Structure formats: structure tokens, C-alpha cells
Amino acid sequence: MTMLLLFGLFAVLVVLQIPIAFAMGLSSLAVIGFTQPVPLTIVVQRIGSGLDSFVLLAIPLFVLSGHLLNRGGIADRIFEFAAAMVGHIRGGLAHVNVVASMIFAGMSGVAQADAAGLGVVEVNAMKKEGFDAAFAAAVSASSAIIGPIIPPSVIMVVYAVMVQASVADLFLAGFLPGILMGLTLMVMIYWLVSTGRTPAPKPVPFSARRLGTTFVRALPALMAPVLLTAGLLMGVATPTELGAVTAIYAAILGVAYKELDYKGLIEAARETLMTCGIMAFIIACAVPFGWVVATSQAPMKLAAFMMEFSDSKWVILAVINIGLLLIGCFMETTAILLIATPTLFPLIVALGVDPVHFGIILVVNLLIGTLTPPFGVILFIMMDIAKISLGQMVRAVIPFYIPLFLTLMVVTYWEGFVLLIPRLFGKV
């Protein structure tokens, strides 16, 4: 009952276009005030202390790294290197786009920053070569969501804090699904181009010399994901510390490339401040909301109900996936994560699904949600960059749902694949 009231009120407020953070705060205030025997001060206490976690500090650090890398001319160098590596494959720059996004994913943890930074480089390069603008935008949009799947990943940090899983394990578990997503996207591009469904200019022949020179030029930038990956695999530093190292390295890189000055640094810090104020504020306001959900016992009842309905792990995971994908069409990603995790977690524990495995399923699912209309943020960003309409954008992105859903299926049903690297190097 409490739960219905809470969700109902929240839904009404969100439909009325009240900002999500305030809608969460208001609905928890109302529900606690009318139905719970606790004083309202608990809401203030929970919001105020909800962010007290050294793990969450990884958020501003990786967001700042992302902003610094996206302005430091680093995107251009990585794109050139990727072009020398895979530009000769049929489909040319479209493959380059995916590979560059995968490399970039190894240092940036926010899909939005990748879409707005590297995305501009990718779309412009493809349009200049003669690719269709909508196709270029669709490839860049689908490859941008690899960013938060390959570590670092801000969304994984939020999930890890909520279920008290290890951020390092989640990061390690993200590598293979991210690479799989990139490869399946490339297969789809190859098929679209070779069957003539998408016009593509002739690719440039492969040149070892070009690969060598672009590699040397990109080497300092390539060191960032290498450092981060090595740090994670060896487990020498916490993700938060690696975030600080990446941010400082990105700043030094920008200065060395003479593309970052004092003004740029301040601007990057200002954008990071805004991201914290918008996203982490939702996280803070979700703490009392999650508290109401947990005390209402509803997640336990949901777990019992679902287990009665079917005791097969696979059926329930399929139901969860479909439900989340539907919600993802209409709701903002962080908000779904913050509400779905406490609601579904007892069910997940009862089913015996590994929390790290479920985290990856959730992350991949929610990121696909950023590409589904009508509320798909990455679609909006890309439409803006490529100067096309929502209709054109959606039509162009439809074929790419196939590799994305395929990745989601593999991630959901092949636990050994997701947990391979964390089992080898982590603590799972």
C-alpha cells in the first residue's frame, strides 16, 4: 500500500514535469508524513548523509576526466589511430567510429560526454567522407553507449554503492560485454554496407606506415586506458584513486598537447560541478525514497510473488529485462537505476543471481534505454550534432537494436562470460 502510494505520487509528479530529484523528495516527504510513524527530519538526515561515501567520489573524478579528455584534442588523435587500424575494412569510417568509441570508453565513464565530445568528431568525419548523416549519427549513438560499459563507468559506481558490491569487480565485468557490443555493432555495419543497404565510400587501403605514425601520435592518450586497466587488473588502487590519477593525467595531457589552458580547466570543472549538482543530487534525493521502499516490505512481497509465478531464473530475468526496457523508453536512466535496484534486489538475491552479474545486466539494459524513443537522451544529442530530425534518427538506429539486444541476451544468460575477468582477477 505504502509502496503504491509512493510510486503513484512519484509518477504523477514526474508526468507533471517536476524535476525528478524534487519529485522523489516530495513523494517521500508525503508518504512518510502521512503513513509512517517517523518524523520528517529523517528525509533531511538521509539526503544530507546519503552521499557520504568515498566510493561515490569516483563520480566527479571520472566526469572531470571525461570533460578534460573530450576537450584536449585527444579525441582527434584516437580517431586517427582507429582509422589507420580498421579504416580499410568495408564500411570504413563506420568501423573506425566504433573502435574509437571503444578505446575512448576505457577512459571516460559518461555516455553523454562521449556522445557530445567524440561524437562530434565522428559524425563530422563520416559526413565529410560522404556517409549519410543519419547513418553516421546512428553509428555514433550506438557506439557512445559502450562508454559506461567498458570501465570506468559512473553508473556502475552508483549501482555498486547501492548494493554494496565491489566497484572494481563491476568494472572488470564490464570489459567483455563492452567489447562484444562493439564487435556485434561492427558486424551489423559490415552487413548493412556489403548488402548495399547503406551507401558507403570506398575504404582507404591499409598502410602499416600510417598505423605506425598515428600510433606514436596517439600513444600518450592511449596510455590513459592502459594505466587504468592495469590498475584495475592488479587491484593496486581503488577506483576512486584511479579516477583522480586519470583526471590529473588527462589535464597534463591536455597541457602537453597545448589544447588545455587555465580557462579550459575551469570550464571542465564547472561542467563537472553541474553534473554533480544534477545527477548526484538525484542520488541524494533517492536515498529517503529507497528507505521508504525498503521499509514497506514490498520488494520482499514482489520477490515472493514472482517466485510463485515462476521459479526459473531465466524467465524472471527475461521479465525484468522487458519491463526495464519499456520503462527505459519513458524514464531517465539514473532514476530507473535508483528505483529499480532497491525494488528488485531482494528478488535477485532470492534467485541466486550474482550481484555483479545483475549489475551488468542492469547497466546494459538501461543504456539501451538511452537509445529508445520517445525519451532517449543520446538520440537527442546526436540529432543535434548531425542536424537531422527524430524520425530520421530513429529509422537509422533501428538496425543497431539487433546487435544491442543480442549483447543484452548474452550478458543476461551467460553468467560465465560476464564474470570471467572478475573471477580471474577480482574477488568474486
Partner 1 sequence: MKFLSSTIRSIERVEQALGIFLVLAIVAMVGVQVVSRYFFNQPMAWVEELSTYCFIWTVFVGASIALKQDRHIAITALELCLSDAQKRWLKVLIWISVLAFLLIMIPHGYKVMQVEARSNSVSLPVDIPRMWFYSLPLTLACISMLITSIAGVYQSLVNAFNGMTPVLINSKPDNLI
Q: How far is the CB of 149 from partner 1 (least distance, A)?
A: 11
332 binding partner 1? (CB under 8 A): yes
Binding region for partner 1 (CB under 8 A) out of 121-129, 168-176, 185-193, 374-382: 374-382
308 binding partner 1? (CB under 8 A): no
Q: How far is the CB of 307 from partner 1 (least distance, A)?
A: 31
Q: Select from 3, 6, 31, 63 the one that contacts partner 1 (CB under 8 A).
A: 63
Q: Which amino acid is at 214?
A: T
304 binding partner 1? (CB under 8 A): no
Binding mask 212-241 for partner 1 (x = CB under 8 A): ------------------------xx--xx
Distance CA 39, CA 44 (A): 10
Residues 102-121 that bind partner 1 (CB under 8 A): 110-112
CA 208 to chain CA centroid, nearest Å: 34
Distance CA 370, CA 293 (A): 25
Q: Select from 4, 35, 54, 309 the one that contacts partner 1 (CB under 8 A).
A: 54
Q: How far is the CB of 22 from partner 1 (least distance, A)?
A: 5
Q: Which amino acid is at 36?
A: Q
Q: How many CB atoms lie within 10 A of CB 154?
A: 28
410-417 LR contacts (CB < 8 Å, sep 24+)? 410/177, 410/180, 411/177, 411/180, 411/360, 411/361, 411/364, 412/317, 412/318, 412/321, 412/361, 413/314, 413/317, 415/353, 415/354, 415/357, 417/176, 417/177, 417/180
Residues 71-90 that bind partner 1 (CB under 8 A): none
Query: Rounded to the nearest 5 degrees, what angle is found at the Cα of 149, between the Cα atoms of 133 and 290?
Result: 115
Q: How far is the CB of 94 from partner 1 (least distance, A)?
A: 24
133 binding partner 1? (CB under 8 A): no
Q: Please, what's the b/e burial string for 284-309 (b: 16 or more CB within 10 A of its CB; e: otherwise)?
A: bbbbbbbbbbeebebbeeebeebeee
| Alpha-carbon distances of 179 from 24, 184, 352, rounded to whole Å | 35, 9, 26
Contact between 154 and 148 under an 8 Å Cβ cutoff? The reply is yes
343 binding partner 1? (CB under 8 A): no
Q: Select from 103, 344, 366, 397 the one that contacts partner 1 (CB under 8 A).
A: 366
The DSSP secondary structure of 105-161, one letter per residue, reads HTT---HHHHHHTHHHHHHHHHHHHT--HHHHHHHHHHHHTTTTTSSS-HHHHHHHH
326 binding partner 1? (CB under 8 A): no
Between 58 and 94, CB nearer to partner 1: 58
Distance CA 154, CA 381 (A): 19
Residues 21-40 that bind partner 1 (CB under 8 A): 21-22, 25-26, 29, 39-40
Q: How far is the CB of 394 from partner 1 (least distance, A)?
A: 15
Residues 267-296 that bind partner 1 (CB under 8 A): 269-270, 272-282, 284
Q: How many helices (H) and strands (E) does the chain have?
A: 22, 0
Between 18 and 302, CB nearer to partner 1: 18
Between 84 and 141, CB nearer to partner 1: 141
305 binding partner 1? (CB under 8 A): no
Q: Select from 191, 380, 405, 414 the one that contacts partner 1 (CB under 8 A).
A: 380
Number of residues in contact with partner 1, rule: CB under 8 A? 77
Residues 154-173 that bind partner 1 (CB under 8 A): 154-155
Between 306 and 385, CB nearer to partner 1: 385
Q: How far is the CB of 188 from partner 1 (least distance, A)?
A: 23
